[in-house]
Every structure is written in C-alpha cells, then in structure tokens.
Structure 1
Amino acid sequence: MKLIVLVLDGVFDTGLATVLDALTTANELADLVGSPGPRFHVSLVGVRSEVRSAQGLSVPVTAVAHCPTADCVIVPAIGCKMPGPLQQALARDDVTDAASVLRDWAAAGTRIAAACVGTFVLAQAGLLDQHEATTSWWLTPLFRERYPAVRLDSRRMIVSSGQFVTAGAALGHIDMTLWLIRQTNPELAGLVASYLIVDSRPSQSAYAISDHLAHSDALVERFDRWARERIGTAFKLDEAARDLATSKRTLARRIRDVLGKTPISHVQDIRIERAVHLLKTSDTSVDSIAHTVGYADGVTLRTLLRRRLGKGIREIKRV
C-alpha cells in the first residue's frame, strides 16, 4: 500500500512521529501474521521544499510535483492547539496550496485521512462538506463556526465517510493509523496495537472537558452553571430557559452549536462527570451517589456509566 504523508510547516511532532512509527512497526511485524515483506510504502511530501516541525526539527520532504501516486494521503495535525494561532495558520499560503492539492487528490478518488487539527485542513479545502467527521474535542465550537456544512460528531474518535477518514485529538493519530492498517489486515493492526500498548478508544467523550467547551459561549456557560447548581433535581428545559431569560429553542440551538448535543444530554454528562468523581474519591455507595446526581437508583447510574465510559468503567471498581 502506497501512502503519502502531507507535511505542513509546523507539523505536530508527536502526530507525525506516531503515524510513521505505527506504519514502520506494521512492516516489521508483517512476518508474524504470514504477510512477508513491507506492506506500507510511505513518502513524506510537502507543498514547500523546506518544512520544519512545531519543535523546529527539519522534515525531509519530496515536492508535491515529484511525489508518486498513492492509495491514501495522510494529513497530520499542525502544532497549533488553541483557536487563535490555529486560525492564523489556516490563513497561510502553504495551507491554501495544500487545500488545492488535496482537492486534486480527492478528485482522483484517493482516500484521505486526517487527525486532530489536520481535520481543519481537510475542511478548509471544502472536502468534508456534507460528510460526517470528527475533530479535536476542545476545538468543536470553532470547527462548527467555520465549517457549518460538515456533519460533525466530535464525540467519536474515528469517523469514516466516503473516501475521507477523520480522527480526534492529538494521539488520535495512532487510532487513525491503526484504522488504516486494519483495512488491509485486521490481525496485523491488532498486533501493532499490542506492541504499542494502545487500547481501543472509540469515543473522545471520556476525555472531553465539558466545562472547557461551555466557557466558549456566554449563554451555554450560564446554562452549564445553572445545571451544575441543580444537579440533584429533575431537569426541565422550560425552567432552564425561564431562569436564563431565553427561549427553549434558542437555548437548545446554542447548546447544539457549541457542544454538539441536546440540553438533556449535557445535563446527563454533568451528572456522569460528578458521579465518576465521587466514585473515585469517596466511599459513598453507588445508590447514594445516584440520588446526589439526580437519578432514582444505582441501577440507572450503573447502566449510564457503562454506556458512556465503555471499557474505561474498569477503572471504577464499584460499578
């Protein structure tokens, strides 16, 4: 399988290294699953002749004009983690040129995968319009604002839609690369994951800090604070809208735009977050914690914890 890694100036060092190390490991382990010889041929390609990583390391790249054809193009993140610097980076000439090249590859039917902030580069090129996608959880509000035509679900770690594959935050690069390996050889992907000690992480929800996202919008921040102050009582959207001096429709729309969820779903996330904290830091019974966070009994809380946290529930011994 021929792969191109499109490396932009200021590339996130860990993201690039993770992609390359996972693919190299797959090649090294191929014999163990009865698939001799290198499986992945990787070319580092740039839209500029000189590329440096976010940490200032020189990255040897082949010019786009001289790059080989490929089965898949991978776009690692740019090393800008906050909205301000990221928007400045997206306005750079080399990113504009990269978007043009990506559109050409897409038109030729090439699969394109991007992780973390790399998903912004794909969206900037217009390639994700009307497609499902994910991105770094904390950049969800910015992504929704810039690319409203993308069907974003930032709760998921990996989203495959048509010829495009997007992955979540930072170390989502490894999830994306394992997904690509799995399309060729599931057994090999499992072996690479075992060697690199990578657990399956289908969701970013367990890592997302809802309070961080809520602070990006004044009304959503007020709703978040209102819900936390009433965590042990039944949630009523009418009451929330009245207390916050807004309409139910406006409140629901703003929460959806910022957090990508319904008001009741956010309230449930707050309750789960508080319950997990209490389970980890106190000896209080599950039933008592359930009442504290607004659920009728421990059975309901246990069910929600298992559904929301998946394998991560093993860290909580009492559930």
Structure 2
Amino acid sequence: MRIYVLALDEVFDTGLSTVLDTFSIANDLAGSAGTPSIHFEITVVGVRRRVHTSQGLSVPVVSAAQLAQPDVVLIPALGAKMPDTLQAALERRDVADAGELLRQWSDGGALVSAACTGTFVLANTSLLDGQSATTSWWLAPLFRECFPHVTLQESRMVVGSSRFVTAGAALAHIDLALWLIRRSSPALAAVTARYLVIDPRSSQAIFMIPDHLMHTDPLIERFEQWARHRLTEGFSLNAAASAAGTSERTLARRLKTILGKTPLSYFQDLRVERAVHLLRTSNDSIDLIAAQVGYANGVTLRTLLRRRIGRSVSELRGY
C-alpha cells in the first residue's frame, strides 16, 4: 500500500514521528502476525523543498510533483494548537498548495486522512463538506465556525468512511495509523497496538475539559458559570436562559451552533466532568458522588458515565 504523509512546514513533531513509527513497527511485525504480504510503503511528501517541524527540526521530503497517485494520504497536525495561530497557519500559501494536491489525489481515488489540527487543513479544501469528521476536542467550536457543512463528532477518536478518515487530538495520530493498518489486517493492527502498549480508544470524551473548549462567546460563558454553581440542582432551561440574559430559543441555538450540544447535554457534561474528578481524587462512594453532582443514586451516574465516556467507575478509579 502506497501511503503519502503530507508534511507541511511547522508540522507537529510528535504527530509526524508517531505516524512513521507506527507504520514502521507494523512492517516489522507483518511476518509474525501471519501477514507477510502486507507492506506499507511510506513516503514523506512536501509541497516545498524544505520543511521544518514546529520544534525546528529539518524534515527530508520528496516533492509531490515527482510522485504517482497514492492509495492513502495522511496529513499530520500543524504545530499551531490554538485558534489564533491555527487560523493564521491556514492562510499560508503552502497550505493552499497542499489543498490543491489533496483535491487532486482525492479525485484520483486516494483515501485522504488527517489527525488533530491536520483535520483543519483537510476541511479547508471543502472535501469534507457533507461528511462526518472529528478533530482536536478543544478546537471543536472553531471547527464548527469555520466548516459549518461538516458534521462534527468531536467525542469520537476516529471517524472514517470509504473516502476520508479523521482522528482526534495529538496522540490520536496512533489511532489513525492503527485504523489504516486495520483496513489491511485486523490481526496486524492488534499486534502493533500491543507492541505500542496502547488500548483501542473509541472516544476522546474522557479527556475533554468542558471549560477548555476554545470559544469566546460571552453568552455561553454566562450559562456555564451559572451551570457550575447548580450541578446539584435540577436543570431548568428557563432559569438558564434568564441567567445568561437571553431567551430559551437563543441559548439553545447558540449552544448547538458553537458546541454542537443542547443546554441540558452540556449541563450533563459538566456534571460528568465533576463526577470524574471526584472519583479520581476522593474515596467517596458512588452514591455520595452522585448526590454531589445532582443525581438521585449511583446507578444513574454509572449509566451516564458508561454512555458519555465509555468507562466504568472501577476503570476511572484504577481498580
């Protein structure tokens, strides 16, 4: 399988290295996994002759003009991690040139994939319009603002289809590489994951910090401040809207547009965040913690934790 790793200038060091190392390990293990015929031909491609990582290391690249049509293209993250620096990076000429290449390769039948902030580079081409995708969880509001025609599922670690694959933040580069390996051989992906000492991760939800979501909307900030002081109380949309200084309809619309959630869903996210913190930092019983975050009993909280973040109480406490 011919895979091009498209490295733009100031590429995220860990993302690029992780992708290359994961495929290298898979190639080394192919024989022992019973798949000797599988080989991933990895080429680091650039749209400029010189590419540097965000830490200033020089990356040897092959010019895209010299290459044939790939089977798979993978875009590692840019080093820009926050909205202002990321938006500036997306305006660069090399990013625009990369977009032209991605459209060309996609039209030729290549599977196009991206991780972390690399998903912004892919979405910037409009190729993801009408598709589902994921991205770095803290940049979900910015992604929705920039790419309203993409259905964002930021709680998922990897979102894939026959044409496009996107992965979540930072070390989700490993999950993306393993997803691509799994397409050729589930057995090889499984043994590679074991050598990397990594469990399959279907969700980013356990890592999300609701108040770190990158938005600057004062209405949502007022709602969040109100909600955090009322986690033990029942949720009232009318009271929430009144505290935020707006109507129920406007509050619901703004949360849906920016965070992709209803007010009640975001309220429950804040309860889950608090419950996870208490489970990890105290010896309180699950029933006591449930009461501290507004639920009648531990059974309800256990169910919510499993549904929202895919973890049990014992897993969260490290038993």
TM-score between both structures, scaled by the size of structure 2:
0.96
Compute the displacement of 1:281 (Å): 2.1
* Gaps in structure 1 of 5+ consecutive residues: none
Q: When the two structures are aligned, how many residues end up with a matched partner?
A: 319
Correspondence for 1:145: 145
C-alpha distance in structure 1 between counterparts of 2:214 and 2:239, whole Å: 19
Distance (whole Å) between structure 1 residues aligned to residue 272 and residue 214 of structure 2: 16
> For the residues of structure 1 that align with 2:99 and 2:155, how far apart are their CA atoms?
26
Q: Show the counterpart of 1:296.
A: 296
2:196 matches 1:205: no
Matched AA of 1:127: L
Q: How far apart, CA to CA, are the structure 2 residues paired with 1:203 and 1:144?
A: 19
Partner of 1:276: 276
* Aligned twin of 1:236: 236
> Do 1:214 and 1:221's aligned partners in 2 also have CA atoms closer than 8 Å?
no
Query: What are the residue-to-residue correspondences of 1:302-317 with 2, within 5 Å?
Result: 302-311=302-311, 313-317=313-317
Q: Conserved in 1, the CA contact under 8 Å of 2:69 and 2:108?
A: no
SS in 2 for 1:42: strand
> Equivalent residue for 2:263?
263
Offset of residue 318 of structure 1 = 9.3
Contact 1:214 1:258 in 2 (8 A): no
* Alpha-carbon contact 2:279-2:313 (below 8 Å) kept: no
- In the TM superposition, what is the alpha-carbon distance from 1:313 to its structure 2 partner? 4.2
Distance 1:292 1:311, change over 3 A: closer
Secondary structure of the residue that 1:316 maps to in structure 2?
helix
Once residues 91 and 215 of structure 1 are traced to their aligned partners in structure 2, the CA distance between those partners, rounded to angstroms, is: 20
Q: Distance in 2 between matches of 1:5 and 1:314?
A: 39
Distance, in Å, in 2 between the alignment partners of 1:301 and 1:51 is 49
Amino acid at match of 1:276: V
Percent of paired sites with the same residue: 56
Using a 3 Å threshold, how does the CA distance of structure 1 residues 246 and 43 change in structure 2: closer, same or farther? same
CA offset at residue 316 of structure 1? 3.4
CA–CA distance in 1 between the matches of 2:207 and 2:3? 30
Of 63-72 and 97-106, more deviation after overlay is shown by 63-72
The residue number in structure 2 matching 1:250 is 250
Cα 1:223–1:131, aligned 2, differ >3 Å: closer, same or farther? same
Structure 1 distance, partners of 2:47, 2:237, is 50
Aligned-pair RMSD on alpha carbons? 1.6
- Is the 8 Å Cα contact of residues 136 and 154 (structure 1) preserved in structure 2? yes
Partner of 2:58: 58
Deviation digits for residues 260-296 of structure 1 (CA, Å, limit 9, x no counterpart): 2111111111111111222222232221221221111
* Helix, strand or coil at the partner of 1:257: helix
Which aligned runs of 4 or more in structure 1 are off by greater than 3 angstroms? 311-319
Aligned counterparts of 1:312 and 1:41: Cα–Cα separation in 2: 40
Q: Deviations over 1:167-186 (max 9, x none)?
A: 00011100000000000000
What does residue 171 of structure 1 align with? 171
Change (3 A) 1:25 1:169: same
